[in-house]
């Protein structure tokens, strides 16, 4: 199986590549290497003979078509995207370009490729987010039938791309499968996102900024569990279907940060608890209150189960950051130093 992985140098994409190489697939990465793309995350597979890397922008339709012609993939797992909600608030244009136009280019390239190659088992997995469903109240879970109601520029562009992907299945018969996953965490996570930011700020004894009152709830999934889910969806999911992916690990943000602090207290003790570094700061505009996934379809149809609990996953994650300074230090120094993003300016 030769799989084209878009966004393979990102957080989830690199986990998918490491997983696919481990289970014997050939992997072709297409990635623009934006601020979020990092070849060091592909270090563990970079010298493998079944791994290929192509640096391109998915907004470049000719380049995308040329990759299909060059590699003739058996499948696409499409992860390339602008992914940070805060950045989408400050600058939404690149989100519209990459997430909407880039996805359109890939779907079109797949459609043309299939019309000229008889690739019967071809699949196009479009990787999306639970944020397309908007916010939940205190009760209930997102199912595959929950209506779309995105709040942020990020989730609105992902919703748009999901609609394109489903339309290309219904109208042109491209064998698309959409996955909507909850918040991921784990190794190789760019340090603008909540969990790595808290670990690295705690290590530097800097304030730990928690938005609003810290009561927003996210449903956390360890990234390697997501990669395994995508592998199953690719081989056993049904074209035209959507699969929600989540680890049944709902946590308030403040509890996530406290858990990081308690691991830092244990592994890197200082003269007071790291909890004392927590600072409540101005909330994110349009901040969704709660996300929670019902993953029954994926569990019942494809037999997937998350292997990590939040407790085991967060311990692994904190230990990984403490042991992998070489990976994150250049990013903290040269790419993103921890400044606040995503406040609306007048
Ligand atoms: P990421 O920001 O870590 O990585 C994105 C990758 O895409 C980077 O390697 C970047 O260089 C590449 N990229 C960006 N624009 C590109 C372009 N125009 N052309 C080619 N490559 C480009 O993102 P992530 O957290 O790994 O998320 C991957 C996918 O999963 C995204 O589609 C995201 O919407 C989705 N998702 C993420 C989460 C999460 O919690 N992180 C949850 C559910 C779904």
Span 55-98, pLDDT tens digits: 999 999 999 999 999 999 999 999 999 999 999 999 999 999 99
For the chain, give the number of residues.
346
* Alpha carbon separation from 254 to 81, 214, 274 (Å, rounded): 27, 5, 13
81 Cα–ligand 1 center, Å: 4
* Regions of the chain with pLDDT less than 50: none
Contact 214, 252 (CB under 8 A): yes
- Domain residues of the chain, as ranges? 2-189+220-251+289-310
7 Cα–ligand 1 center, Å: 6
Contact 1, 26 (CB under 8 A): yes
Q: Which of 17, 19, 36 is the pocket-test mutation for ligand 1 (most atoms within 8 Å of CB)?
A: 36
Quote the tokens at residue 194.
């909540």
Q: Quick one: pLDDT at residue 189?
A: 98
2-189+220-251+289-310: which CATH architecture?
3-Layer(aba) Sandwich (3.40)
In this prediction the pTM is 0.98
Catalytic residue annotation: 130-131, 154
What is the spatial distance between Cα 12 and Cα 9, in angstroms, rounded to a whole number? Answer: 8
Q: Quick one: pLDDT at residue 294?
A: 97
Q: Is 194 helix (H, G, I), strand (E, B) or coil?
A: helix
Q: Which own/partner contact pairs does 318-321 have at CB distance under 8 Å and 24+ positions apart? A: 318/199, 318/260, 318/263, 318/264, 318/267, 319/263, 319/267, 320/186, 320/187, 321/187, 321/196, 321/199, 321/200, 321/203
Q: Quick one: pLDDT at residue 201?
A: 97
Average pLDDT, the chain: 97
Quote the tokens at residue 16.
């998918």
Q: Quick one: pLDDT at residue 335?
A: 96
Q: Quick one: pLDDT at residue 297?
A: 98
Q: Quick one: pLDDT at residue 117?
A: 82
Q: Quick one: pLDDT at residue 119?
A: 80
184 lines ligand 1 (CB under 6 A): yes
79 lines ligand 1 (CB under 6 A): yes
DSSP count for the chain of H helices, then E strands: 12, 13
* Alpha carbon separation from 339 to 93, 114, 203, 336 (Å, rounded): 21, 45, 16, 7
**Residue 34 Cα: closest atom of ligand 1:** 11
Q: Quick one: pLDDT at residue 118?
A: 76
159 Cα–ligand 1 center, Å: 14
What is the percent of the chain with per-residue pLDDT over 70, rounded to a whole number? 100
Q: Quick one: pLDDT at residue 105?
A: 98
DSSP 99: I
104 lines ligand 1 (CB under 6 A): no
Q: Quick one: pLDDT at residue 346?
A: 59
């Amino acid at each position: 199986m030769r799989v084209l992985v878009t966004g393979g140098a990102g957080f989830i994409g690199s986990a998918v590549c490491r997983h696919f190489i481990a289970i014997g697939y050939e992997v072709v990465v297409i990635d623009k290497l934006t601020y979020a793309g990092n070849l060091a995350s592909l270090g563990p597979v970079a010298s493998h003979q079944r791994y290929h890397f192509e640096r391109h922008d998915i907004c470049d339709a000719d380049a995308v078509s040329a990759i299909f012609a060059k590699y003739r993939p058996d499948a696409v797992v499409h992860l390339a995207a602008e992914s940070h909600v805060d950045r989408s608030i400050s600058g939404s244009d690149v989100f519209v370009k990459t997430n909407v136009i880039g996805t359109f280019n890939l779907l079109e390239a797949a459609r043309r490729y299939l019309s000229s190659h008889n690739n019967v088992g071809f699949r196009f997995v479009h990787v999306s987010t639970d944020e397309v469903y908007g916010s939940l109240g205190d009760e209930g879970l997102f199912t595959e039938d929950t209506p779309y109601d995105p709040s942020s520029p990020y989730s609105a562009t992902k919703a748009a791309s999901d609609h394109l992907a489903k339309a290309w299945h219904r109208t042109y018969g491209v064998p698309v499968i959409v996955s909507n996953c909850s918040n991921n965490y784990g190794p190789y996570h760019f340090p603008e996102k909540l969990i790595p930011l808290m670990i690295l700020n705690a290590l530097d004894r800097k304030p730990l900024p928690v938005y609003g009152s810290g009561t927003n709830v996210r449903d956390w999934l360890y990234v390697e569990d997501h990669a395994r889910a995508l592998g199953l969806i690719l081989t056993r999911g049904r074209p035209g279907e959507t699969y929600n992916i989540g680890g049944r690990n709902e946590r308030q943000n403040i509890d996530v940060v406290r858990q990081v602090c308690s691991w830092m207290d244990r592994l890197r003790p200082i003269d007071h608890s790291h909890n004392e570094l927590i600072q409540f700061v101005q909330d994110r505009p349009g901040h969704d209150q709660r996300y929670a996934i019902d993953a029954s379809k994926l569990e019942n149809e494809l037999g997937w189960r998350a292997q990590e609990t939040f407790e085991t996953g967060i311990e692994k994650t904190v230990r990984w950051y403490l042991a992998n300074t070489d990976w994150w230090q250049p990013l903290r120094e040269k790419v993103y130093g921890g400044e606040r993003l995503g406040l609306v300016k007048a």
